[in-house]
């Protein structure tokens, strides 16, 4: 076999592998979009403690609306962790963004602010500490719909014995169903799926 033939085979193999990788990525991307929509259909309202993840637009405000709705339906108090608030975010700050019908009793008795975590991985780590401290074995996880698959991955990896229910927040400025019609929404899903793959690879290879 001459040198030119070897070079041709090597180049052909590279392009075949590249095409297969791109195909695999985009098939997964479409499945990811379907997964987001399926999570929206399976929102859980149960008598459980609640964790709200910050980071997306209006996640705290929208998350607390869900907390208020669950409180009205279940008629019970439960522990609530708002994870990743950042330094300087206090309960006084929190009260400024609450709706007028929010049960203020929950702010004083039940809500805890966590400011250490900076990403989804540390959200899961700090929540794990909170569940251990409070002897909690089940939570409702609240975050944006597009963020939920990665949040579930990180949380189940960090606390495999915890029962995790989900309740997604639908961003008002992103139509996930018609994601291909908006470059902003496409980019959002593209990069979130990429983050999910990286997190999955880290867990499988490094086991952390």
DSSP string, 30-74: HHHHHHHHHHHHT----S-EEEEE--STTHHHHHHHHHHHHHHHH
pLDDT computed for residue 2 by the predictor: 61
- Model pLDDT, residue 4: 64
Token pair 């949040």 is at which residue?
Answer: 151
User: What is the rounded distance in angstroms from the CA atom of residue 89 to the CA atom of residue 115?
Assistant: 8
pLDDT of residue 14: 77
Domain ranges (residues) in the chain: 37-206
Series of mean pLDDT values for 10-residue runs along the chain (208 residues): 60 82 94 94 78 86 88 83 93 90 89 96 97 94 96 97 92 92 96 97 91
Give the model's pLDDT for residue 1.
Answer: 56
Q: How far apart are CA 191 and CA 197, in angstroms?
A: 10
pLDDT at residue 74 in the model? 77
Query: What span, in angstroms and rounded, lies between the C-alpha atoms of 64 and 100?
Result: 12
Fold of 37-206: Rossmann fold (3.40.50)
């Amino acid at each position: 076999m001459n040198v030119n033939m070897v070079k041709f085979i090597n180049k052909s193999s590279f392009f075949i592998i590249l095409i297969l990788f791109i195909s695999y990525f985009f098939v997964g991307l479409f499945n990811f979009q379907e997964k987001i929509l399926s999570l929206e259909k399976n929102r859980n309202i149960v008598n459980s403690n609640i964790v709200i993840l910050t980071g997306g637009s209006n996640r705290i405000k929208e998350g607390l609306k869900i907390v208020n709705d669950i409180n009205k339906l279940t008629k019970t108090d439960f522990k609530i962790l708002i994870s990743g608030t950042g330094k300087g975010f206090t309960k006084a700050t929190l009260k400024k963004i609450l709706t007028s019908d929010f049960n203020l009793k929950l702010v004083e008795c039940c809500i805890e602010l966590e400011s250490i975590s900076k990403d989804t991985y540390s959200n899961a780590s700090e929540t794990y500490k909170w569940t251990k401290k409070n002897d909690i074995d089940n939570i409702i996880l609240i975050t944006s719909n597009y963020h939920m698959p990665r949040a579930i991955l990180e949380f189940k990896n960090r606390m495999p014995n915890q029962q995790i229910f989900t309740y997604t927040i639908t961003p008002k400025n992103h139509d996930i169903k018609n994601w291909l019609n908006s470059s902003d929404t496409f980019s959002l899903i593209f990069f979130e799926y990429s983050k999910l793959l990286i997190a999955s690879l880290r867990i499988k290879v490094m086991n952390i």
